Structure 1
Amino acid sequence: MDQALKKQILSLLSKHRIMTIATLRPDGWPQATTVGYANEGLILYFVCGTDSQKAANLAKDNRVSLTIDSDADQLIDIKGLSMAAHAERITDRAEGMTMMGLMFSNYPEQKGIPFEPPKFEDVAVFRVTPKVISVLDYSKGFAHTDLVTL
């Protein structure tokens, strides 16, 4: 992977805290949901309820598509990421707790507000490993994308 492109991807990942992730429902329809995330390099992590539709969908098919972006005042300022990836549930408690801590550290504003993080046993923690990343950058031309296959 081109180092300048990797730097751009990592920069976009670090500037955001939420993503829209699409999983496949049992009836074949995609389901898109907004979740908070954290990343270590190109690997992303998110947490959801153990009885959520996302967790059920991923137990049957771990393929996901996701987007990370934000609104822009000018068309030329649109930048974002789209990924095709695999999401695997983390079953190791120590790893899961570390990743939950990483994710909640993305919200330093939360420190002054009483908040009890969920227990590992009560949530599903997922590791998302990208296979294809599309980098959208309108400053390089309308709907310009750079495609990276991992």
Structure 2
Amino acid sequence: MDAQWKQKIVAILDGHRTMTIATNRPDGWPQTTAVGYSNDGLTLYFLCGKDSQKAANLARDERVSLAINNDPDQVMAIKGLSMAAHARRVVDRAEGEKALALLFARYPAQNGVTMTLPSPDDVALFRVVPKVISILDYTLGFAHTDLVPCDDEPAGQ
């Protein structure tokens, strides 16, 4: 991937903390939910309940589609990205602890409320590795998108 594309994508990822992610249900219907995420370069992390429908969907089919975007007042200021990716369960404890630290660093304590980090054993943690990214930037023209393949991109880079 070209360094300029990577820089633009990482800037979008770093500038947000929620995404809408679609998984594949057993009946063939997509299931879309909003989740908090963190990223390490182009690799994203999110968590969900161990017994959730999302975790069950991903145990069966790791393919996901996701979207991250801003919500501006002006339509021509819309920027964001969508991604086709693989979401794999994090099983390495060190990576799980790193992912949790990254996730909760995006949500510092607010209004005097502090939260104890869950253990990697308490939640289902997923590593999302992109296959192709579509960058949406209306400032370059209505519905302007650039398609960026990621097949040769190593995780976390």
How far residue 111 of structure 1 moved from its aligned partner, in angstroms, is: 8.3
CA shift digits 1:107-126 (9 cap, x unpaired): 12448313222222110110
SS in 2 for 1:58: helix
| Worse-superposed segment, 112-121 or 130-139 | 112-121
For residues 118 and 109 of structure 2, what CA distance do their matches in structure 1 show?
A: 18
Q: What is residue 99 of structure 2 aligned with on the other side? A: 99
CA shift digits 1:91-140 (9 cap, x unpaired): 11121011101110111244831322222211011000000000000011
Maintained 8 Å contact 2:109/2:115 = no
SS in 1 for 2:26: coil
Number of aligned residue pairs: 150
Q: What is residue 27 of structure 1 aligned with on the other side? A: 27
Q: What is residue 135 of structure 1 aligned with on the other side? A: 135
Maintained 8 Å contact 2:79/2:136 = yes
Q: What is residue 124 of structure 1 aligned with on the other side? A: 124
For residues 82 and 141 of structure 1, what CA distance do their matches in structure 2 show?
A: 17
For residues 115 and 45 of structure 2, what CA distance do their matches in structure 1 show?
A: 20
Q: What is residue 14 of structure 1 aligned with on the other side? A: 14
1:44 counterpart = 2:44: yes
Q: TM-score, normalised by structure 2?
A: 0.91
| Worse-superposed segment, 26-35 or 93-102 | 93-102
Q: TM-score, normalised by structure 1?
A: 0.96
Q: What is residue 80 of structure 1 aligned with on the other side? A: 80
How far residue 75 of structure 1 moved from its aligned partner, in angstroms, is: 1.2
SS in 1 for 2:96: helix
Q: Which runs of 5+ in 2 are unaligned?
A: 151-157
How far residue 38 of structure 1 moved from its aligned partner, in angstroms, is: 0.5
Q: What is residue 58 of structure 2 aligned with on the other side? A: 58
